[in-house]
Amino acid sequence: MSGETLPGVERDDPPRIVLHVDMDCFYASCERLREPALRGQPVVVGMGYEPGDTIGAVATASYEAREFGVESAQPISQALDRLPRAAADDAAEDDTEPVGYYRPVDLDFYQSVADAVKEILHDCADVVREVSIDEAYLDVTERTAWRRVPDGDRTLAEGYARYVKQRIAREVGVPASVGVAPNLSAAKIASDHDKPDGLVVVEPGEVREFQAPLSVEAVHGVGPVTADRLASMGIETAGDLASADPVELREVFGSRGVELHERARGIDDREVTPTGRPKSLSRESAFAEATDDDTKKRETVTTLAADVAARAQNRGATYRTIGIKVVVPPYEVNTRERSLSGPVDDPGLVEEVALELLAEFDGEAARKVGVRVSNLSFASGEQARLDGWDEEDGVGGGGSEANGRDGDDPTGRGQASLGEFER
């Protein structure tokens, strides 16, 4: 679907509605979720900053840290020169000299947060393309529309995008920037346009005008090398690229030059293609305040179990594993799960197992609880017998993702399990 139409030509189909959801400084946001005192402070996530370390790099720097010249992929020694490490582990009150709060990479924890976000995205869209741990495209054409609300102040699509943002903030607790546009490349540009925690809507017919004043590097697919070559041709903005001679671009860049030219003009016919079926289905609920009320926790888990089981049925999925998540203050993530002898579709069993696993946390305060079914199967066939399942409670040595993990395992699976509510 393009961002412009030939004069006098009407579309048979309405313009596509694409959301690009990009989590802002995701690793740093996760650390703030675990340590609320870090909010508003310069946070640097990386490795090599401990005394005696000689090598390391920045994985993520919060926007506050970027103000001091700290950037992703920067040598950690350079980051420490520009923003010394705070002496205390916890966020300080008021330092006379600017300091940063350095934290090690904890991929297991970040993945668990990302899984909770992606669960919301899959619930809000019929088609989701997960690009990375902190980025995804959503096709919500069937969920909303480009027409304006009665007062004409905004489109329904903008309202829906705001709903997605608010669900992520409310249910997971991390910020996201969202771009809304009639195609993938424009949605990506829109999400980058007003960070952090931004929401930018580019309506059909406005894509080319919106992109025109932006640097040519804003066009999806233009990297530094391509930008340099374009600059040597006198092309420095997206508007310049849109007005350039496509024949000349093809001579220099091949078919890719024509593709970039079209994107600069607001034309991008690529569809949002899904990245595959989910590996699990889950639902979580946070309490307004941490609670040790066992009845309240059980009632919440019962509701979540029914919802998760219903969603599995709606997708025609059976499951081999049932699990729970319990987040205790300050932000210690505990997971428990139980594996069955074969795939089943049994809502009553989901509730029963979830409540049995929850009993281990009776009397403990909880900030959030969740229920998950995993090891999904979408193939038809007989369900397993319900006798003789294998119990795997507390896989991963207690399931506390907040403690003792240095994140140096690139697979994010340094311990046996997982209880992360992953897709």
Q: Report the percent of the chain where pLDDT is more than 70.
A: 84
Distances (CA, A) of 372 to 47, 112, 376, 390, 392: 32, 12, 11, 17, 14
| Model pLDDT, residue 420 | 30
| The pLDDT of residue 322 is above 50 | yes
Average pLDDT on 229-252 reads: 96
Q: Please give the residue that has the higher pLDDT: either 180 or 288.
A: 180
Residue carrying structure tokens 């293609």: 273
Contact 205, 182 (CB under 8 A): no
Are the CB atoms for 176 and 190 separated by under 8 Å?
no
Q: Taking the CB of residue 184, how many other CB atoms lie within 10 A of it?
A: 24
Task: Find, among 286, 303, 326, 304, the residue nearest to 373 by Cα.
Answer: 304
| Other beta carbons less than 10 A from residue 137's beta carbon | 26
> For 45-61, how does the pLDDT look when each residue is reduced to its tens digit (9 = 90+)?
999 888 777 688 999 99
Contact 328, 34 (CB under 8 A): no
Confidence of residue 406 (pLDDT cuts 50, 70, 90): very low
Instruction: Please name the helix (run of DSSP H) or strand (run of DSSP E) that holds residue 281, with its range, or none.
Output: strand 280-291
Domains in the chain, CATH or no CATH each: 27-105 (3.40.1170.60), 209-264 (1.10.150.20), 280-392 (3.30.1490.100)
| Alpha-carbon span 124 to 119, nearest angstrom | 9
Each residue's pLDDT tens digit, 340-392: 988 999 999 999 999 999 999 999 999 999 999 999 988 644 343 333 333 33
SS3 141: coil
Q: What is the pLDDT of residue 276?
A: 67
Q: Is the dihedral of CA 305, 307, 310, 315 positive or negative?
A: negative
pLDDT at 407 over 50: no
Return the closest-CA partner of residue 103 out of 56, 69, 68: 56
Q: Per-residue pLDDT tens for 6-37? A: 433 344 567 999 999 999 999 999 999 999 99
| Residues whose CB falls within 8 Å of the CB of residue 155, separated by 6 or more in sequence, listed in order | 145, 146, 147, 148, 149, 201, 203
Res 121 pLDDT > 60: yes
pLDDT tens digit sequence for 96-116: 689 999 999 999 899 989 989
Amino acid at position 272, single letter: V
Measured CA to CA, the distance from residue 212 to residue 384 in angstroms comes to 59
75, pLDDT greater than 70:
yes
256 HSE (CA, 13 A, CB side)? 9
Burial degree of 337 (CB within 10 A; 0-12, 13-18, 19+): buried
| Tokens encoding 93 | 């009150």
Catalytic residues: 135
Confidence of residue 405 (pLDDT cuts 50, 70, 90): very low
Q: Which of 227-231, 256-260, 294-298, 383-387 has the lowest mean pLDDT?
A: 383-387
pLDDT at 186 over 60: yes
Q: What phi and psi values does residue 156 have, to the nearest 5 degrees?
A: -60, -35
Question: pTM for the full model?
Answer: 0.70
- The C-alpha atoms of residue 186 and residue 206 are separated, in whole angstroms, by 10
Q: Quick one: pLDDT at residue 381?
A: 40
Q: From 278, 307, 292, select the one nearest 370 (Cα to Cα).
A: 307
Average pLDDT, the chain: 84
